[in-house]
Structure 1
Amino acid sequence: MGKRIDVQDLHVYYGSFLAVEGVSMTIEPRSVTAFIGPSGCGKSTFLKTLNRMHEVTPGGRVEGKVLLDDEDLYGANVDPVAVRRTVGMVFQRPNPFPTMSIADNVTAGLRLNGVKDKKVLAEKAEKSLRGANLWDEVKDRLNKPGAGLSGGQQQRLCIARAIAVEPQVLLMDEPCSALDPISTGKVEDLIEELKDDYTVVIVTHNMQQAARVSDKTAFFNLKETGKPGHLIEMDDTQKIFNNPSERATEDYISGRFG
């Protein structure tokens, strides 16, 4: 598992508004790529184009290409729902289904895809919860509501739900912003493990987090409020944080703006 993503001159629109302009990048398989930059610069918007989630918003569309191992995700015959199975997403705030048990939360996507065998579902629930480093904490209460878990546990539950359908890529939109430091550490440790099997892309406002967990970092910015966001530079995380090529990147990382 884990696929390469090639983005070619991507423009992201909502109606006539150009939200993100002219992004080209390569995201390597089985690695962690972090998107950083000030609020409103298009990081999360661009992230959502990688599995066509932005199209859920009325008027959301793109120009350009997003290739997943050479397959254009925006090709004429490509089903957006199939794209979202291949490219999973974990959101900023944990969003377990409140009326479902822990086990049912994990297997919701599988059941939606027609899997009915209880043994298969139980095995997949355990495998996914182990993969999210949550099994030992919840194995004795799988039938309890997922919403009864702590915030950090809920976020790992959502990660388990995302990996249960065996995606190739896992997108995370500020997955730790609502979590305490201990829970954040557990999710960061999990991200490090997930890259063994998945291509992971994370949006974060936490610069230290980007430096800790990512192999590559992309810095986004915008010229002024109301203008489209764009990619300033992307490189190995160590280089971005220690010796960036662009002055704007250095200014942001050092706290001189943003």
Structure 2
Amino acid sequence: MAQRIDIKDLNVYYGSFLAVADVSMAIEPRSVTAFIGPSGCGKSTLLRTLNRMHEVVPGGRVEGTVAMDGVDLYGPDVDAVAVRRQIGMVFQRPNPFPTMSIAENVLAGVRLNNRRISKQDAADLVERSLQGANLWNEVKDRLNRPGSSLSGGQQQRLCIARAIAVKPQILLMDEPASALDPISTLAIEDLIAELRSDYTIVIVTHNMQQAARVSDRTAFFNIAGTGKPGRLIEMDDTRTIFSTPSVQATEDYISGRFG
């Protein structure tokens, strides 16, 4: 299920503004890759290019290559909607659909993709997805309650259940725990550790301890100043990045001397 992503010579634009420049990296399957760096360095922008969400922003475009198992996701014959079906995304703030029940939230992506599903298959998918998000035991007796009735941490896990219900190959997470309390954050981190065996996961985080805990590889991005593009400074195994980075700016950021 999990797939590899290869990024080569990627430039990301908003209109004429170059937001991220000259990024080349490989994201390994069945692993967690963390993007770290100061605010405004393009981490979330780059993340959104991986499933073509960047194009939703007026003027958003890319130059270069983003390939999943050798297929250029920006190729002329590639459907952006199909890309987003294969590469799910979880946002910074939990965003369950407020008028839908917990079960309906899980099934929303499946039904949006016009997949016909029997009542029994739908019930099985809801249970399987909620179990995959470590939420089933907490909500199994109230599946018809609104998704918005859950706590913040439960809502975020519901959004993860909704994402995995469509059986993606890659999961993108944009600061998925930044709006949560420490206990809910730990639950999300534990879930990420479990999901890595089935998915390729890319996470943006400002929490250095979180990056060190959950990721296998870490990419550090930086920006030279206001109006300048973000750039990939270095990428390596997380243990190496946090113990013996090869670039001084990386060490300065991780140690809290800037950013």
Q: Which bracket does the TM-score occupy, shorter chain normalised? A: over 0.9
1:67 aligned onto 2:72: no
Say if 2:124 is the partner of 1:123. yes
The corresponding residue for 2:25 is 25
Deviation, structure 1 residue 116 = 3.4
Amino acid at match of 2:174: D
SS at match of 1:76: coil
* Matched residue, 1:34: 34
Q: Which residue of 2 aligns with 1:10?
A: 10
Unaligned runs of 5+ residues in structure 1 are: none
Whole-Å Cα distance in 2 between the matches of residues 118 and 22 of structure 1? 48
In structure 1, give the amino acid aligned to 2:238.
T
Query: When the two structures are aligned, how many residues end up with a matched partner?
Result: 258
Report the CA distance between 1:217 and its aligned residue. 0.2
How far 1:212 sits from its partner (Å)? Answer: 0.2
Which residue identity does 1:118 align to in structure 2?
K
* 1:18-70 deviation per Cα after TM superposition (whole angstroms, max 9, x unaligned): 00000000000000000000000000000000000011100000000001000
Q: Percent identity?
A: 76
Distance (whole Å) between structure 2 residues aligned to residue 116 and residue 177 of structure 1: 35
What residue is the counterpart of 2:151 in the other structure? 150
Out of 205-214 and 107-116, give the one that drifted further: 107-116
- What is the letter of the counterpart of residue 164 of structure 1? A
CA drift of 1:117 comes to 1.4
Q: Are 1:91 and 2:57 counterparts?
A: no
1:1-258 to 2 correspondence within 5 Å?
A: 1-114=1-114, 115-258=116-259
Equivalent-residue separation in structure 1 for 2:20 and 2:111 (angstroms): 35
CA distance in structure 2 between the aligned counterparts of 1:40 and 1:113, rounded to whole angstroms? 33
Aligned equivalents of 2:54, 2:71: Cα separation in 1: 19
Could you tell me how far apart the structure 2 residues matched to 1:118 and 1:97 are?
21
Aligned partner of 1:21: which letter? A
Instruction: Say which is worse superposed, 110-119 or 196-205, in terms of deviation.
Output: 110-119
Q: Distance in 1 between matches of 2:241 and 2:226?
A: 24
Aligned residue for 2:228, secondary structure, equals coil
What CA distance in whole angstroms lies between the structure 2 residues aligned with 1:217 and 1:83? 24
Give unpaired runs (5+ residues) of structure 2: none
Q: What amino acid sits opposite 1:202 in the alignment?
A: I
The SS at the match of 1:157 is helix
| 1:77-126 deviation line (CA, Å, top 9, x unaligned) | 10100000000000000000000000000010111122231111111110
CA distance in 2: counterparts of 1:23 and 1:210, whole angstroms: 20
Structure 1 distance, partners of 2:254, 2:246, is 12
| Shift in Å, 1:225 | 1.1
* Mapped partners of 2:226, 2:207: distance in 1: 22
What is the rounded CA distance, in whole Å, between the counterparts of 1:94 and 1:3 in structure 2?
Answer: 25
Q: How far is the alpha carbon of 1:218 from its aligned partner?
A: 0.2
Aligned mates of 1:226, 1:125 — CA distance in 2: 45
Q: Hey, which bits of structure 1, 4+ residues long, moved more than 6 A?
A: none
Distance in 1 of aligned mates of 2:143 and 2:25: 41
With 112-121 and 44-53 compared, the bigger mean Cα shift is at 112-121
Aligned residue for 2:33, secondary structure, equals strand
Counterpart-to-counterpart distance in 2, 1:112 and 1:86: 14
Q: Secondary structure at the match of 1:20?
A: strand
Q: Tell me how far apart the structure 2 counterparts of residues 112 and 40 of structure 1 sit (CA, whole Å).
A: 33
CA distance in 2 between counterparts of 1:132 and 1:168 reads: 15
How far apart, in 2, do the equivalents of 1:255 and 1:138 lie? 40
